[in-house]
Structure 1
Amino acid sequence: MSVETRWSAWGEEIAVQVTENAALGPAVGLVGAVLSDAEAACSLRRGDAEIHAVNLAQGQPVRVSVRLSGLLRSALWVARMTDGAVSPLAVEESPPGVPPIHPEPTFADIQIDDATVLAPWGVSLDVTDTAKADTADRAAALAGNRLECGVLVRIGSVVATAGHCPAGGWQVDVPGHGPVELPTRAAMATVGTDLTYGEHDPVSGQWEQVTVVADDGLWAYGGAAAAIRRGLGAVSWLEEQALAARLVDRLGRIYTTSRWSRPHAA
């Protein structure tokens, strides 16, 4: 038996589910605090967010908080794991009469030394989506450890779990498919081409929707978003990464990786 509450924050629906009734209020407080810290660090929609200082520095080093440093490191980790298919970097167009940047910067040009960040001139960073996935992981782990109960945290379409799970596992809906059983200390993310990723343009291509189950929300999101962008090569790439995944193409046809057939993602 578990209890749940939902609210809106950071442009997403937030859900918190716990296995102990008395833990729901404290869990909401812990999750809300983690959300607020992350949003203050990197939300491009907030004028006071720390990330604006990095984007305005244009080739100059900037000292940032531990929280923003962690979120930037997470985004760069996903970029490396996906060979740049999911990147936090956006190269600004040069003004008329100004030659374009050459060679064009990549995520590998972002340097983080302790809490000092150096991004090349002409680059803006948007870590909104990886930050939400990272925050779901951190919030679930924090609440599970502090409250010593089972916790599920959902931020938008990213779900992360911690602590012990309820009988029958965590039942999590996959859009257009129904619930799957998610074990504790696992995560799931669904990415669709009808979504806009942070401040980036919507993605179009082979796949309508990709759902990935992984050990944490950051990798579940990274794997699903990378698969959307990889097109025809997505299934083989997901198999190489040993990820449980379900893909729906533009014609409604469903493809799954071998690991999706396991009981926790059946």
Structure 2
Amino acid sequence: MIRFSRWRGWGERVTLAVTEYEALRAAERIVREIVVESEAVCNPQRGDAEIHAVNLAQGVPVQVSPRLSVLLRAALWAARMTDGVVDPLSADDAGLDETAVPPIHPMPTYLDVQLDGETVLAPWGVSLDISETAKADTVDRAAAEVFRNLECGVLVRMGETMATAGPCPAGGWQIDLPGGGVVELPPGAAMSTRTAGDAPASLWNEVTVIAADAVWADAACAVSLRRGIGAMRWLEQYGLAARLIDENGHVHTTTAWTDPRAA
């Protein structure tokens, strides 16, 4: 029997499902603690968030907590895998006045952010906002921790990004897709959905990707919205199970989506 719990955390609807009836209360405690911890270190909307220490350092190395180090590493990995489409630099930096930066210095990018263990060096003139990848990483970690501690099947979801761990329930994890339809999410896999609101000029109204982890699934959705018609080839290149709905409502799927359990 699957038991569910729902609440709001870090500005998102959080859903927890477990396969063991008695495990729900303990699982919810684990997930809530992980969400709170992640938000506390990197939510730029919080004045006490640890990431402000990195942003205020302006070119000076900063020692950070292990949790923030992990989240920064995930964000930089996603940036490299997507050629900067998923950018850990704050959106405010996109409008940074180039005349405000001394001409001897090129405009900084995510490639200039250095992370050595738990020491971070962010270049002068930028600030980091890793909320998107941090939420995906939080989903991954929460599912893994529930399974590790309680040895039950689990699904954790924040907004439209989710991850599973442990054994699946009878019949598998059946997930309703935005706009209609159902897909089976394999145990140990993750899924994310993004809409055209994340990229207004996109050819696609909606993109759903199943991947090995939530950070990669969410990042792949972001790339697909940006790449337009080239998204299908890019997704196939990485063997990702994906469903894309174009502006006319037509559904396009990658080869792996025909059997998403193999994703």
* TM-score greater than 0.5 by the shorter chain: yes
Query: Corresponding residue for 2:124?
Result: 121
Query: Corresponding residue for 1:163?
Result: 166
Query: Corresponding residue for 2:87?
Result: 87
> CA 1:166/1:258 → structure 2, altered by over 3 Å: closer, same or farther?
same
Q: Of the candidates 170, 174, 177, which is equivalent to residue 177 of structure 2? A: 174
Query: Corresponding residue for 2:256?
Result: 259
Query: Corresponding residue for 1:185?
Result: 188
Query: Corresponding residue for 2:220?
Result: 223
| Residue 241 (1) aligns with residue 231 (2) | no
Give aligned-pair identity as a percent: 55
Q: Find the aligned partners of 1:67 and 1:171 in 2 and give their Cα distance.
A: 31
Q: Is the 8 A contact 1:173 1:180 kept in 2?
A: yes
SS at 1:159 equivalent: strand
> CA 1:94/1:84 → structure 2, altered by over 3 Å: closer, same or farther?
closer
SS at 1:105 equivalent: coil
Query: Corresponding residue for 1:17?
Result: 17
Per mean C-alpha deviation after superposition, the further-off stretch among 175-184 and 38-47 is 175-184
Query: Corresponding residue for 1:140?
Result: 143
State TM-score, norm by structure 1: 0.93
Query: Corresponding residue for 2:70?
Result: 70
Q: Is the 8 A contact 1:89 1:124 kept in 2?
A: yes
Residue 37 of structure 1, CA deviation:
0.6
Query: Corresponding residue for 1:55?
Result: 55
Q: Find the aligned partners of 2:221 and 2:3 in 1 and give their Cα distance.
A: 28
Q: Find the aligned partners of 1:95 and 1:157 in 2 and give their Cα distance.
A: 34
Query: Corresponding residue for 2:207?
Result: 210
Considering fraction of residues, name the structure with more helix.
2
Query: Corresponding residue for 2:100?
Result: 98
Q: Find the aligned partners of 1:24 and 1:172 in 2 and give their Cα distance.
A: 19
Residue 193 of structure 1, CA deviation:
2.0
Residue 254 of structure 1, CA deviation:
1.3
Q: Find the aligned partners of 1:177 and 1:95 in 2 and give their Cα distance.
A: 44
Amino acid at match of 2:217: A
Q: Is the 8 A contact 2:210 2:260 kept in 1?
A: no
SS at 2:127 equivalent: strand
Residue 98 of structure 1, CA deviation:
3.3
CA RMSD in angstroms, aligned pairs only: 1.8
Q: Find the aligned partners of 2:191 and 2:98 in 1 and give their Cα distance.
A: 44
SS at 1:112 equivalent: strand
Q: Is the 8 A contact 1:92 1:124 kept in 2?
A: no
Query: Corresponding residue for 1:199?
Result: none
Q: Find the aligned partners of 1:250 and 1:111 in 2 and give their Cα distance.
A: 39
Residue 204 of structure 1, CA deviation:
3.1
Residue 55 of structure 1, CA deviation:
1.2
State TM-score, norm by structure 2: 0.94
Query: Corresponding residue for 1:41?
Result: 41
